[in-house]
Structure 1
């Protein structure tokens, strides 16, 4: 079966969403609210509660890490779409296949999250990628893999998305991804992340809202250097001491720590935090 034929066998988004609604239930006693309780499957199911422009984000904002990796198959269309419908910003990671196609997966290897393929993502063909499925975190039905183009076809310009260009991307690959965003006119509806300072600078230079990901210590660059690069958001580890989070906030950055277990953990953060990444945006 060639790549085109295989693509055409994929279920439509409506079918995928129907499956997601059936498999995710409400557990009131634990505070988990199902996607269906938030409106999936309702007459307004084509509406997204998440903002469609960065300028419309209300703080603190909830960023659904990898599309809600503790609730939905990691980096799946089901997770991205459910997140957007329920008002959360879907976050995803960009890696590259053998032929340079940008695809959405966190790890640089397939083994942890995918069925049917193994080894480095950069060694996979597009046909192999399309034939793989994403494991479900709770043992449910696996999901289809997603390319960057497929996610943008579904959500681009409809909601604010938070893509990360993963470490290891070349400067040409960073430009390749930004060119895709340019072609689709997504400047106002993306927060683009990177752990690489030079990439974060390029993202800002190209006119996108740039989020510089850092670790459990303050970045090696000075606050003035980060600001001069046009970077507006900083995403430190949740383990960064509160006093240092506050220093970033007072320096004028939007601060969004990663990665909290649930939204309930996010609600415990100081009020001056502008956002947070969580694997389960629904448990509050």
Structure 2
């Protein structure tokens, strides 16, 4: 995969950088941290290698699923930042707390990935969320939980991010998230995903690059219906047969299957695939 020139970035918040440095140091000590895939320095403060605009994406693009969930604490700032530094697009999932605050976590419950809290994410207060930590996939130091605003403060506009508005979000919550993106002027630097066709259509109508997530079969909507909705990307399961992946490609969509174990698996995909999601973007 070709990489982009490093971009200059704004200064980071010292608290998040300090946590990232500690986690990276701990991982290096245990031999668990990945070597930089492109030879770039991944220490805090170095420049990002990931593109900062959707128009600058080079294909095939590697999407770091949940910030590299097999390498870093899932949906942590450490994982997002490390992914961006090494040229991968950080992907994250948006859920909502009891007060409506958008936060970054895949599951609709806390139990699998978080320490210190349990139960539905929608039942948690912001105070409980802030007090929780994210488990490390390799038994290393846990990481701090991340709100959507915190991630956008650190990465918004600096790298292309791939947020997913999770199933179960109301139309009002979809608009709420897009309003946040609007306020920050992020139309050029986001690929926004959803498994919900109406949400994916709304994302496109609001001027964002929309990725419609589907399953191991072709979507129930016709290709013309998807295209007419303004949706440019389709993200099928990796288990979708190659012949059907090719149909999506020939229909003019950017096709990015999910979720491959490592980038090594991504390199085995047909050359016409435009990208892929992986839990370990560093293993080639």
Flag whether TM exceeds 0.5 (same fold).
yes
Aligned to 1:15: 18
Q: Which runs of 4+ in 1 moved over 6 A?
A: none
Say if 2:264 is the partner of 1:261: no
- Structure 1 residue 36: Cα displacement: 11
- Consecutive unaligned residues of structure 1, counting only runs of 5 or more, are 1-9
Say if 2:244 is the partner of 1:244: yes
**Cα separation, partners in 2 of 1:22 and 1:79, compared to 1, 3 Å:** same
Query: Aligned with 1:226: secondary structure?
Result: helix
- Consecutive unaligned residues of structure 2, counting only runs of 5 or more, are 1-12
Query: Aligned with 1:21: secondary structure?
Result: helix
- Structure 1 residue 13: Cα displacement: 2.0
Q: Note the alpha carbon deviations across 1:89-117, whole angstroms, 9 max, x for none.
A: 00000000000000000000000000000
Aligned to 2:275: 275
**Cα separation, partners in 2 of 1:31 and 1:98, compared to 1, 3 Å:** closer
Aligned to 1:164: 164
- Structure 1 residue 130: Cα displacement: 0.3
Aligned to 2:214: 214
- Structure 1 residue 46: Cα displacement: 3.5
Aligned to 1:5: none
Provide the aligned length of Structure 1 versus Structure 2.
272
| Matches for 1:98-177 after TM superposition, within 5 Å | 98-177=98-177
Give, in whole Å, the separation in 2 of the partners of 1:145 and 1:107: 13
Q: TM-score, normalised by structure 2?
A: 0.92
**Cα separation, partners in 2 of 1:257 and 1:193, compared to 1, 3 Å:** same
Q: 1:39 aligns with which of 26, 38, 41?
A: 41
Aligned to 2:198: 198
Q: TM-score, normalised by structure 1?
A: 0.92
Note if contact 1:232-1:253 (Cα within 8 Å) is conserved in structure 2.
yes
Give, in whole Å, the separation in 2 of the partners of 1:132 and 1:175: 27
- Structure 1 residue 261: Cα displacement: 0.1
Give, in whole Å, the separation in 2 of the partners of 1:183 and 1:259: 31
Aligned to 2:3: none
Give, in whole Å, the separation in 2 of the partners of 1:69 and 1:228: 34
Give, in whole Å, the separation in 2 of the partners of 1:39 and 1:26: 17
Query: Aligned with 1:281: secondary structure?
Result: coil
Give, in whole Å, the separation in 2 of the partners of 1:32 and 1:81: 13
Query: Aligned with 1:193: secondary structure?
Result: strand
Give, in whole Å, the separation in 2 of the partners of 1:36 and 1:186: 27
Note if contact 2:203-2:209 (Cα within 8 Å) is conserved in structure 1.
yes
Query: Aligned with 2:111: secondary structure?
Result: coil
Aligned to 2:7: none
Give, in whole Å, the separation in 2 of the partners of 1:31 and 1:118: 28
Give, in whole Å, the separation in 2 of the partners of 1:270 and 1:36: 22
- Structure 1 residue 34: Cα displacement: 5.1
Say if 2:73 is the partner of 1:73: yes
Give, in whole Å, the separation in 2 of the partners of 1:145 and 1:106: 12
| CA RMSD of superposed structures (Å) | 2.0
Query: Aligned with 2:243: secondary structure?
Result: helix
Note if contact 1:61-1:274 (Cα within 8 Å) is conserved in structure 2.
yes
Query: Aligned with 1:234: secondary structure?
Result: strand
| Matches for 1:173-184 after TM superposition, within 5 Å | 173-184=173-184
